[in-house]
Amino acid sequence: MTVDETDRGREYDIVIVGGGMVGISLALLLNRQALQGSEQRPRRILLVEAQEISLSKGTGYSASFDARSTALSWSSRKIYQLIGVWPELKTQVSEIAQIHVSDRSHMGLTRIDAQEAGVEALGYVVENRWLGSVLHKQLAATDIEVRDAVSIESIRPLAAGMRLSVGGQVIDTRLLVIADGADSSTAKKLGIQTQRHDYNQTGIIANLCLQKSHAGVAYERFTDQGPMALLPLSNFAGRPRSALVWTQPNDVAQTLMSADDQSFLEQLQQRFGHRLGRFQQVGERISYPLALTTSAEQVRRNLVVMGNAAHSLHPVAGQGFNLSLRDAAALADSLAQVANDQLGDLETLERYQQRQAADQCNTVIFSDSLPKLFGISSSAAALGRNAGLVAMDLVPALRNGFARFGMGMATSEAGNQ
């Protein structure tokens, strides 16, 4: 379908492409500002999602809201409080009371404690499907327009915005936000390059039924083949559960994916140990190839690239979504300060990018270096990292610094708006 250049498209102030965890959260943040009674005309926002979503039931499902669980940081909680979804979300989240970091076969071990850090919880684990259900319900209660199960045929910069052809319809917008995930096909349409570093690792996720209660402890265990995380989940049918993220070299992961449940659990038990007793049962396993991808450009006039489309990180530190949510809050805050006809101004968008640059840089480096540091098996490296873990265990200030970073409090005061 080609777009007639003389047509006037249906007009929006902001179009968000990608209704995943980041796209919807941004839409709700932008909508919150519209509700705060600014003098100007309310902003017309459109969310475009490739998959079908059923908003009316509040049980929408999309690629973003699959069987994974996400560790939300303190900063994410504050942002969800701002947009009013936290009271419902928290009815099915598990608080992280303690993070237990260990290195298999070495003595280094540290515990980071919520009480010691002076916070109610170090983070909150939410199942992505529940997060999706709550966000979709909130979205359905707004004036945000949604077009789902459509694809974008073309995008063209205009003098004062962007023109899109979506499902055969011409759409003009002052600002286009691309949030359609890693290796964004929409960004590619505009010639935006992506840098990709393949970890040659696969992340296997699954929910586990446990013999012993996790007592709110999140386990981060580094092994010579890759890190694993066990995040506390709410009980299911009275049984304690944890969400597993197990990173393995691609070939090992392939074997683990095809193993039967019994053999999978045995291998996991051998790697993790018996801190949670015997693993009783494993749910559906899903695998994700892991790569660090970063977009070469995040802003242009009338354009922002966000979420995984801007930076997709190794999941070991549980930082990718939390960072994107801080980006979304910062963008919404920057846009709240300008008139509708300035939404696409390059200076505004560059200011947003500068504001987030340090947070993005620190989080990308942290998420990239952790699996590398713990993946080195030489004894000198093992000594160094174990000394680090031991030091962290002995020095509260170090531990608190680590905790503050993990909670999204170190580089950003997101949510303070």
Footprint on this chain of ligand FAD (rule: CB under 6 A): 17-23, 48-51, 62-64, 68, 70-71, 151-152, 179-181, 185-186, 203, 205, 245, 288, 307-308, 315, 318-322, 324
Specify the residue, 34 or 131, whose C-beta has the smaller distance to ligand FAD: 131
As given in the structure block, the two tokens for residue 302 are 């009338």
Specify the pairing of strand 226-236 against strand 93-96. Answer: unpaired
351-389 exposure pattern, b = at least 16 Cβ within 10 A, e = fewer = bbbebbeebbebbbebbbebbeebbeeeeeebeebbebb
As a whole number of angstroms, the distance between CA 386 and CA 112 comes to 15
| Smallest distance from ligand FAD to CB 26, Å | 9
At 58, phi and psi to the nearest 5?
A: 65, 25
| Smallest distance from ligand FAD to CB 148, Å | 9
Please give the sequence-ordered ranges of beta strands (E in DSSP) within 189-269, or none if there are none.
194-210, 217-223, 226-236, 239-249
| Smallest distance from ligand FAD to CB 384, Å | 26
Specify the residue, 22 or 192, whose C-beta has the smaller distance to ligand FAD: 22
| Smallest distance from ligand FAD to CB 39, Å | 32
> Please, what is the angle between helix 21-35 and helix 128-140, to 10°?
30
Cα atoms in the 13 Å half-sphere on the side-chain side of 216: 15
As a whole number of angstroms, the distance between CA 104 and CA 102 comes to 6
Specify the residue, 188 or 278, whose C-beta has the smaller distance to ligand FAD: 188
As a whole number of angstroms, the distance between CA 299 and CA 150 comes to 24
Contact 297, 192 (CB under 8 A): yes
Specify the residue, 69 or 102, whose C-beta has the smaller distance to ligand FAD: 69
Specify the residue, 1 or 387, whose C-beta has the smaller distance to ligand FAD: 1
As given in the structure block, the two tokens for residue 90 are 């928290």
As a whole number of angstroms, the distance between CA 405 and CA 401 comes to 6
3-state helix, strand, coil in the chain (%, to 5): 40, 30, 30
Specify the residue, 108 or 307, whose C-beta has the smaller distance to ligand FAD: 307
Specify the residue, 51 or 340, whose C-beta has the smaller distance to ligand FAD: 51
Specify the residue, 171 or 382, whose C-beta has the smaller distance to ligand FAD: 171
| Smallest distance from ligand FAD to CB 382, Å | 26
Specify the residue, 324 or 334, whose C-beta has the smaller distance to ligand FAD: 324
| Smallest distance from ligand FAD to CB 71, Å | 4
| Smallest distance from ligand FAD to CB 135, Å | 11
> What is the Rg, in whole angstroms, of the alpha carbon atoms belonging to the chain?
22
| Smallest distance from ligand FAD to CB 306, Å | 7
As given in the structure block, the two tokens for residue 39 are 């003098």
| Smallest distance from ligand FAD to CB 387, Å | 27
